[in-house]
A and B are shown apart, each in its own frame.
Chain A
Amino acid sequence: MIDYLRKPEGKIFSFGFLIMLLGLVNLFFIRNESFFNSYSFKQLIWIIIAGLIYFIVSRFRLQTLKQISIPFYIITLILLLFVLIFGDEISGAKSWIRIGSFMSFQPSELVKISFIFIIAKFFSDLGVYSRSLTIKYLLGFTFFFIPFFLIMLQPDLGSGLMLLIISLCTIISFSYNKKVLITLCILITVSGFPIWNYGLEDYQKQRIISFMAPEKDPSGYGYNVIQSKVAVGSGELFGKGFGNSSQGKLKFLPEKHTDFAFSVWAEQTGFFGSLLLIGLYGFIVIFSLTFLQKIKDLFLQVLLFGLSTYFFFHLLINVSMTIGLFPVVGIPLLMFSYGGSSLMCGALALSLISLIISNYKDVNRLGL
């Protein structure tokens, strides 16, 4: 066991599961309920399942990953269609598939990972066309746009945004061209105006306004940001101590189990606790990225890179929105926030990273 933890994949494993445990502790102290009925109990079960996923995935052969890419992507697309038709509507968005009475699942979480798979698969299989940027962009855009469109139909702004960011990072970094990058930047700037006028719902505009100036509207949408900043800030250096999250417990913070879990953590553990948590994520991301140059196989490269961005941007955007650096969008802190879907997907991504960095040496080239 100790030997395993010393290995690179062991480090990824231990850091990842430490995050999950900290998330569990955080959750446990948000409310004093009987444990077996609480969020933390459910989360504990999810963590156990996450352990199972990790165990199962670590048995995979790397070749299998490439083989399942297309079916994986298609299945997630079907799930996205399914959720639009049969999904449960929770707070205005059809994002959930109910499984029994205990579980419900959010396919939009899974599609972020399956997108990385399909991009990795096609980029590595282009062969003679691999030098054609046009084909790369066209493919990339197609693979991105189908799930993106379905997600926006739900609508789930957070997941859509996350998918967009992951796609942009992955596609651009594996088909890098200065001109394209500049054109893209200009295009985003120019399209800002019509999108603002016609593309966004009023509540979405309101969110952006309240992000820009939360103090102007403290009890409306800006309320969440102010209360979250109050929670984080009031933690000061060492925090208020576990169980003393007044902002969280007294319901000043909305979505304190999921989107604002970090605020409660920062309130309870202060700057030190925040630094610890960010450090754990930062390690996973940066440590994974150091393997990029060692891996020869393009599929694994794209996959590893995509999964790292997947982790990183969840952290970046989630923490940023709790401290007023980013508008409030529904993006959870992977593996830390309450919720089966994000925890499962986080665990899946973690397991995949761990699998790649433990086995990449065995396979120089994954030819089929």
Chain B
Amino acid sequence: MAKSERSSLSILIVSLLLAVIILRLFYIQLINGYEYRRISNNNFLKEVIVPSPRGTIYDRFGKEIAHSKAVVNLYYKHNTKDNISNLRGFLSSDLEIEKKFLNKIIKKSKLGSNINKRFLLKEDLKLENIYKVENKISSYQSLELVVDYLRVYPFDRVGSHKIGYLKSNDKRDIVYGSFLSNRLGASGLEKIFDNDLRGESNSRFLLIDNRGREVRSKILSFEKEANDFKPGENLNLTIDIEMEKLIYSSFGNFNGAAVVHDIETGEILALVSKPSFNPNDFSKTISQKKWKSIQNQSNKPFLDRSFLSSNPPGSIIKIVTAVAALEEDVVTSETEHYCKGYYELGGRKFRCWKQGGHGKVNVVKALITSCDVFFYKVGLSLGIDRYSKWLKNFGFGEKINTLFSQNSGVIPNKNFINRFLKGKWYKGDMVNVAIGQGYLTVNPIQASIMTSIIASNGEYPELKVVKSSKNNKQKNLKIKKRNLLLVQKGLLGVVNERGGTGFHAFDDGQLAGKTGTAQVISKSSREYNLGKFKNHGWYTSYYPYTNPKIVITVFVENGVSGGSSGGPIIKRIVKYYKKNYMSNKGETN
């Protein structure tokens, strides 16, 4: 090789190779620089999230219905300096973490894209296990204990429909940052007030070295802003959780719903639906299998019977029939009808529930004995137009102004008849609806509103479950006082007079109410009122008669009759109310 050739060739090679390096630097630093800067930031900054506890839900007396309990969770981040096989042994034998799961997490955390991620190994460590980990944490860099908040519902299933539960996480590998306390409300008040209840977690960034240890010094002029820390707001309910507990247990083997509200304020004291679910089940990680099994239970534990289940009201609707008839001057206090045990209409016999009949009955007597024949006749004279107008006045078939979603039921008004019955409305339909069977369906809240209107001389209540200083604007149905008095007298008689259907709840003579039985339709008559085709029982009442304070409505699924199944429950509620509300300050003002 000639001298000049050697010189220029080598300069050429050198220049070319330098160009390759510079191009590579250009690629790494300028084209991909932003991405590398991001990785570098995550590399030495360890995000430390301080989870903020979800707000507590209190009942009207300050009892905790839902609160956040501080728990300690164990996280794992891959670290080559640790002896994996020893660590695996410790975790599976001492902490009883499933081996298969453990291997999966360890394998997953080794992947390049997961190098900065921390994986959840175990939730809510027992105290003894926390000690065990604490002892090991200095020798295993890959372990980390993190404080989190677990949602706890001390009253389990009681009233859980309105409280709701949190969205559960069925994923098996949860990365640091997805905390229990960050979970969203999935239903009920937890969902409706989610934004208030959920706090904002605070995240700080610590400088760490390559072993994950915090570096305490200001060697780097690098700062990253931290979020504001804001614990969740508390929620104060009008609910009396102890009363709910009592109601829940009073149902015994029955399912159904019960509503208790304060007539003056509209505050709901108790809102119980049974069967229900245990919201604690969803607070922790739940397996897909368990979740499915709860969802698929045949008695529908997720169905809120107080709002979402709408059934024929049975005889409790006679309250509206009576008011409508009196107001529309179809009957007066003097009007009497004769009940011989049945009413014949177009060759078909419409039976009274009492086989021998009630004889001569006026409107008060008819309410007390729940005489069907009286209301057949009244209903026919009233007609569906006037009747459905009054049903609407009482709030049936309409959505109630409330936070909860609801099944508002149907009333057979013109619209309904035209749409579903081809405009045909027979007298037979009318007599059925007048006693609460047939096309009419209502939910327990609507029944409570109806009774509240009677008890408060026509005031339409605005129900609420969350305490607020806001005074509820009530509208008045403007029912004539003398008519109201007749109905009130009737309702008092239901519980307290001989022949009254509500005697099961008789106590101190101050309870007034109405019972009802909703027929469950079965295909064969042999199944009638048996097993799951047993009739549903209704009992709606108010207390005390002379100065009405509360309305109690009980709906018992397959309870056969409202009086026998609902009466004892109401009796216990009244007893509880007297003891806890009236003995001290309650009565005096």
Contact = CB atoms under 8 A, between A and B. Distances in A.
A212 B219 CA distance: 34
Interface in B188-246: 207-211, 215, 219-222
Given A32-B219, A274-B29, A234 B3 contact: no
B29 A271 contact: yes
Given A237-B33, A316-B17, A231 B40 contact: yes
A332 to B, nearest CB: 16
Contact of A234 (B25, B40, B219): B40
Interface in A227-263: 227, 229-237, 241, 243-244, 246-247, 249-252
A247 B43 contact: yes
Contacts of A308: 10
Contacts of A274: 25, 29
Interface string B1-24: 101101110110011011011101
A199 interface: no
Given A236-B29, A292-B6, A252 B44 contact: yes
Interface stretch (A12-20, A135-143, A218-226): A218-226
Given A232-B36, A235-B33, A266-B25, A173 B221 contact: no
A251 B221 contact: no
Contacts of B112: 215-216, 218, 226
Nearest to A313: B17
Interface in B36-76: 36-37, 39-41, 43-44
B510 to A, nearest CB: 77
A203 to B, nearest CB: 14
A250 B29 contact: no
A236 B35 CA distance: 10
A266 B29 CA distance: 9
B28 interface: yes
Given A233-B28, A278-B18, A252 B43 contact: yes
Contacts of A158: none
Interface in B98-127: 110, 112, 115
Contacts of B36: 229-230, 232-234, 236
Contact of A251 (B33, B210, B222): B210
Contacts of A235: 29, 33
Contacts of B7: 289-290, 292-293
A333 B476 CA distance: 92
Interface string A45-60: 0000000000000000
A173 B1 contact: yes
B113 to A, nearest CB: 9
Contacts of B21: 278, 316, 319-320, 323, 325
Residue of B1, B6, B7, B40 with most partner-chain A CB within 10 A? B40
B43 A278 contact: no
A252 B30 contact: no
A271 B209 contact: no
Contacts of B211: 251
B78 interface: yes
B14 to A, nearest CB: 6
A249 B40 contact: no
Given A251-B209, A289-B11, A246 B29 contact: no
A312 interface: yes
Contacts of A316: 17-18, 21
Given A244-B222, A251-B210, A305-B10, A233 B35 contact: yes
B29 A289 contact: no
Contacts of B28: 229, 232-233, 323
B66 to A, nearest CB: 42
A219 B43 contact: no
B215 A250 contact: yes
Contact of B220 (A246, A252, A275): A246
Given A215-B112, A252-B210, A293-B7, A232 B29 contact: yes
A43 interface: no
Main secondary structure of the interface of A (DSSP, over half): helix
Contacts of A26: none
A337 interface: no
Contacts of B333: none
Given A231-B40, A244-B220, A173 B10 contact: yes
Contacts of A5: none
Nearest to A304: B7
A200 interface: no
Contacts of B44: 246-247, 250, 252
A229 B32 CA distance: 10
B4 A293 contact: yes
B26 interface: yes
A286 B15 contact: yes
A116 B78 CA distance: 48
A305 B11 CA distance: 11
A270 B34 CA distance: 12
B80 interface: yes
Nearest to B1: A176
Interface string A191-228: 00000000000000000000000011011100100110
A316 B11 CA distance: 14
Contact of A293 (B3, B32, B221): B3
A271 B26 contact: yes
A274 B222 CA distance: 22
B25 A323 contact: yes
Nearest to A287: B11
Contacts of A319: 21
Nearest to A219: B80
Given A234-B37, A249-B219, A250-B208, A282 B18 contact: yes
A176 B10 CA distance: 13
A237 B31 CA distance: 10
A325 B24 contact: yes
A285 interface: yes
Nearest to A241: B221
A167 interface: no
A278 B19 CA distance: 10
Given A271-B29, A286-B11, A246 B222 contact: yes
Residue of B22, B28, B207 with most partner-chain A CB within 10 A? B28
A319 B19 CA distance: 12
A220 B43 CA distance: 16
B201 to A, nearest CB: 25
A360 B39 CA distance: 52
A266 B33 CA distance: 11
Contacts of A231: 40
B1 A250 contact: no
Nearest to A296: B3
A236 B36 CA distance: 8
B32 A233 contact: yes
A250 B33 contact: no
Residue of A216, A289, A301 with most partner-chain B CB within 10 A? A289
Contact of A250 (B10, B78, B210): B210
20 contacts: A173-B1, A174-B1, A232-B28, A233-B33, A233-B40, A234-B37, A235-B29, A236-B33, A246-B44, A247-B44, A266-B25, A275-B25, A286-B15, A293-B8, A312-B14, A312-B17, A316-B18, A320-B21, A323-B24, A323-B28
Interface of A: 32, 173-174, 176, 215-216, 218-220, 223, 226-227, 229-237, 241, 243-244, 246-247, 249-252, 266-267, 270-271, 274-275, 278, 282, 285-286, 289-290, 292-293, 301, 305, 308, 312, 316, 319-320, 323, 325
List the 3 closest pairs (A to B, CB-CB), nearest first. Answer: A233-B36, A236-B33, A234-B40
Interface of B: 1, 3-4, 6-8, 10-11, 14-15, 17-18, 20-22, 24-26, 28-30, 32-37, 39-41, 43-44, 78-80, 110, 112, 115, 207-211, 215, 219-222
Given A229-B36, A243-B221, 8 more contacts: A173-B10, A231-B40, A234-B41, A267-B40, A270-B29, A271-B29, A278-B18, A316-B18
